[in-house]
Structures are given as C-alpha cells and as structure tokens.
Amino acid sequence: MSAGAGQVGQRARAAITGIGLVSPLGTGTRKSWDALLAGTSGTGPITRFDASRFGVRAAGEVKDLEPELYVPRGRIRHMDRFSLLGACAARLAVMDASIEDGSLDPERTAVVMGVGLGGLSTIETVHEALRERGPRFVNPYFIPMIIPNMAAGWVSMLCGIQGESLTVATACASGAHALGEALALLRRGTADVVLAGGAEAAVTALGVAGFAAMRALSTRDVEPSMASCPFDEDRDGFVMAEGAAVLVVERLECARARGARIYALLAGYGASSDAHDLTKPDPDGRGALLAMKRALGDAGLRPESLDHVNAHATGTPLGDRIEAAALGELLGDRRSLVPVTSTKGSTGHLLGAAGALEAGFLALGLHHQVAPVTLNLNRPDPRCVLDHVMGEPRRCSIGVAMTNAFGFGGTNACLVMTRHEE
Amino acid sequence: MNYEDLQQEVTRAVARVIDRDAADIEMDMLFIEDLGCQSLQIMEIVLELQSVFGIEIPDHDIDALRSVGDAVQYVKGRLGG
C-alpha cells in the first residue's frame, strides 16, 4: 500500500468534490443547475448545421462556451469538439473542487472518460477533403482528433495527470460506466483522485442522420424546446444533445484531509448486459434491473432506502416503458413514493456524456436536497407509473439516490450516491 | 505573384498553423528549432501550403523544407516563377 493510501476496499465510498458541466443548459455547474431548477429548456432548433432536410428539428447545443478560458488557444485547432467540451468540463471540475494548480499528486491522479462516438465532425470534414481534393489533403491531426480516448488524453495533458488514462465506450451508458470505473480505481488503491465523466459532440449532419435513420429521434411538430418529453404519452423519440460533464471523485480521507466541500458520496456501482438485441432493451428489463440491484448491493443498501432516481429515460416509447417497469419491480410497494426524474426533458440526450451529466445532477440534488423536474412531462404514460417529478422541482429529504444509463449493445450502468453530512 | 507577396502568403500560412503573429516569423527561421514545430505541425503546414497555392507536395520533397525561406523557394519553383 502506498503512503497516500488509507482506507480502501471493496465497499469504500468516494467523495464527489468537484463538478464541471458544459451542457445545453449552460457552461459551469451553477449555470446548468440553476437553469435546470428554473425549468429552462436547453434544447432548441438545430444550428450547428443546415438540418432543413433532416425531418428532425431539435437538438441540445452548447452555445455559451468560451473555450479559450480553459484551453490554450493554439491547442484548440487540434481538438475535435468532443475533446474540447470534455477538457473544458475537466478544468471546470478541478476549479470547482478548489484544487490549486500543481497540488495534485500526478501519479496518484487518474482520468476516466466516457465517449460514445468520438470525433464525428472531424470525420465529416476530413472525409469531404479526401473526396473532393484527394488523400494528400487529409489533416495530419485527423487520427489523434477522432480517436475516442483523446478526451481523456487532453484532460491528462492539460491537468498534468500521470495515473491511469482510460476511456469507456458503452454508447449512451459511457459516462455512468466511467464514474463506476473511477470508483473501482479508488477502491483498488491505485489512485487518490479520479477525474471522471463523459464527453460527446455528435450533433452533426452524420450523427443526426444516423440516429434519424434508426427512427430513434423525436420528429413531432412541436416547439423544439418541448420535443424532449420522457415518460410522456406523446413522446416519440429522443432529442440529441452535446456536452460534457466531469466529476472530481476522491478517496473520502483525502477529501476530508484537505477540507474539501463534499457534494455527495459515490457509494455503489452496478453494470450488466441485456444479451438481447443491438438497440432494443430486453423487453422484461432484466439487464436494467440487474444493474440497479448490483449498484445498491455494492453500496450495501436495499431498494427500500432509495429516496430519488434520475432515470435514463430518453423519450423513446419502448425504452422509457421498460425502464419504468424495471424501476417498478425494484421499488415494489414504494413505486409511487420515490421521486423519479429524467433530466433529459431539459437537456436532451447527451449520449456518451449523459450518464456523467446526470450523475452530476444527482450529486447536486443530494447536496441541495432537491429532485429536479422532468421537463415537458405533462401527461404521464399510464404504462410508466412512477412518482414523477412534474411541474416544478421537489424539495425533499434525499439520503440515497440512484442514476441509470443504458446503451446500445445492451449495456447497462447504474450508480448509487448517498448524502454526505459533515 | 511577386516574390514579396509570395513571402507574405507563406508566412501567413505558417502563422495560421502555429498560432503566432506573422510579424514574428522571419525567412531564416527553422520550423523545428526556431518555431518549435512538432512533426505533425510540419505536415499541417504542408497541407496549408497545398491549399493556399493549389499544389501537391510529395513526401520526398518535405524533408528539404527546413526553414520558412525553404518553403518560399520551394513554392516559387513549383509555381514556375
């Protein structure tokens, strides 16, 4: 055991001491959180490319980011947007955790990022150059810009992290798996601090066309700010979004020793696979339920202790229904007593970053004792009977909370957090 | 394009790639030693010169482009001026 290690072990809980959000609700944790609680929608008409022929009008775009504040200007041209968003979120997280420059032990700090798709916009522009002008016009930075591990690579370079630099690619569960793996690293004892989260920037012509071709996206004729409506009877698909979220997760002893503010404790992680279909969830929600049970078990808790859930619910007809059924089975008699939220109503679906953003919201909810609202949920689907948080956020006592993330390929991740009281 | 214009165009292309002020870039400056270019940045400069001047620069010519002045001479030769 290294000098820096103290209590580590299979059940050890980790402190969440910093949250960096770059979301469609705004850049900066405070801005995103306040907008979420205020009932603001982060989704709107697609502006990042001409989507007039796509039949899809809405997306959640990051509009207020000034990357020069977080990344040296000369480096930005060598970063795909997903890496840029991830790097900015990581810098924000470190600042939020009040970690001074140079105060981290580089070798005892690690980074784990979840990325679903990687450098899609760079693939599009470089492919165009290849087609139109030939192979000698391919950007020499093409490969280091598109590989999914480059978000973690940039976080490592910009923050001086010399421990593990890992990337999880589990589609829309990536961000949650990344946080779970961060907890595993801390328990294993090879790191004291992990920067963990997710980054995605797939609101591009190819990205939107691809998900639209699967009929996964909402095409309803409503205001783009209202298109994302998880659990609602009128839901008809999800709304794509971009963004990044990075959390500073550290061994509780380290956080206490430096007097850090602790938002919440990351207490449990569960993962599973459906072993069923490429894109459709298991009809009985068995994989989802297994992940939830494992996460609670990992935290040493039972379903009866749950006070709040941030659901994966993206707004697809099938996915929301199956998750609701799995939650219903988990909660049993308490299914109408545990406030459930899908913050995707406000943000849209950040794909590989979604699980991390929602983990950030979960930690903030535990810290401030509030369950955010599921925006645009007006008429709950009678097949999704749960205690939905509708209309406005709910102030309530939250001791134990859980967030779900499920990805194509039938991959599931679930995180359990607990309240930290000084 | 006269020689001075050519020098200016090449300097601007280099400045864009390495994110420096064109006024700070001189003809005798070496890409690696003086301007701190990494190997991929040199390839990026080649790409920029190809785009600006509408030429293709084959691999076997690239090693000879050690300074900004080398690049100017090379482009001049390729443009037939």
Q: Is A128 on the interface with B (CB under 8 A)?
A: no
Q: Is the pLDDT at A6 greater than 50, yes or no? A: no
Q: How many CB atoms lie within 10 A of CB A123?
A: 18
Sign of CA dihedral B15, B19, B24, B25: negative
Q: Is A77 on the interface with B (CB under 8 A)?
A: yes
- The pLDDT assigned to B44 comes to 95
- Minimum Cα–Cα distance from A76: chain B residue: B19
Answer yes or no: are the C-beta atoms of A196 and A111 closer than 8 Å.
yes
Q: Is B30 on the interface with A (CB under 8 A)?
A: no
What residue ranges in A5-69 does DSSP mark as E strands? Answer: 14-23, 26-27, 43-45, 58-60
Closest CA to A263 of A403, A102, A93: A93
- State pLDDT tens for residues A326-360: 999 999 999 999 999 999 999 999 999 999 999 99
ipTM field: 0.86
Task: At A187, list the tokens.
Answer: 């328990």
B30: helix, strand or coil: strand
Answer yes or no: do A140 and B19 touch at CB < 8 A.
no
H or E element that contains A395: strand A394-395
Mean pLDDT across A273-287: 96
Burial-class residue A261 by CB neighbours within 10 Å (0-12, 13-18, 19+). Answer: middle
For tokens 């949250």, what's the residue?
A: A19
Answer yes or no: do B47 and A74 touch at CB < 8 A.
no
Answer yes or no: are the C-beta atoms of A422 and A259 closer than 8 Å.
no
**What letter represents residue A332's amino acid?**
G
Mean pLDDT across A241-267: 97
For A3-28, letters b (16+ CB in 10 Å) and e give: eebeebeeebbbbbbbbbbbbbbbbb
Answer yes or no: do A136 and B19 touch at CB < 8 A.
no
Answer yes or no: are the C-beta atoms of A204 and A119 closer than 8 Å.
no
* CA–CA min distance A96, chain B (Å): 30
Which among B18, B40, B50 has the least Cβ separation from residue A137?
Answer: B50
Q: What percent of chain A has pLDDT over 90?
A: 96
Q: Is A134 on the interface with B (CB under 8 A)?
A: yes
Q: Is the pLDDT at A4 greater than 90, yes or no? A: no
What residue ranges in A226-274 does DSSP mark as E strands? Answer: 243-251, 264-273
Sign of CA dihedral A99, A16, A23, A148: positive
pTM to 2 decimal places: 0.95
- State pLDDT tens for residues B45-70: 999 999 999 999 999 999 999 999 99
Q: Is B50 on the interface with A (CB under 8 A)?
A: yes
Look up A127 and say whether it is catalytic. no
Rounded CA separation A190/A2 (Å): 8
